[in-house]
Amino acid sequence: MVLTDERNIDNLVPFRVVPDMTHAAAAALFAGVDQDLQGGGPDWEFQGYAYLPAALEQGLVTMDEIDLSVRRVLSLKFSAGLFDYPMAYPERLALIGSMEHNELNAEAARQSVTMIRNSR
């Protein structure tokens, strides 16, 4: 399964890779992207795969291509047991967004920073 980070399909338009969001959705699917991670918010309709129905209508993608991508996502979720135990640890829900989690996330980010130097 291949996924993008934070609205990367959307970026195909301003970087002039494709002319519009419908073509961006088709290009991403053709490139093998199965899932487009989003940050959420009120502008979801401007996000990548929301344009797949239009791409399908215009003949830019086929239902077989969409089905193959969906199959990869669902296969991974089934193999991970997400449908057997969708809430394996419901008591841990309170930790999400907590100060403890935020501090742990900040520490992980600090430890994973990579400095890149341009030697030119």
Contact 40, 13 (CB under 8 A): no
Residue closest to 44 by CA, chosen among 20, 19, 14, 9 = 9
pTM for the full model? 0.69
Does a structural domain hold residue 107?
Answer: no
> Considering the chain, what percentage of its residues have pLDDT values greater than 70?
93
For 69, the domain range is 3-85
Task: Convert the pLDDT of each residue in 38-78 to its tens digit.
Answer: 755 556 555 788 899 999 999 999 999 999 999 999 999 99
Residue 40 domain flag: yes
Q: Considering the domain boundaries, does residue 7 fall inside one?
A: yes
Contact 36, 9 (CB under 8 A): yes
Residue 74 lies in a domain: yes
Is residue 36 situated within a structural domain? yes
| Number of domains, the chain | 1
In a domain, 105, yes or no: no
User: What are the structure tokens assigned to 24, written together?
Assistant: 């961006």
Region 82-96: mean pLDDT is 80
Whether 27 maps to a domain, the answer reads yes
Answer yes or no: is 32 within a domain: yes
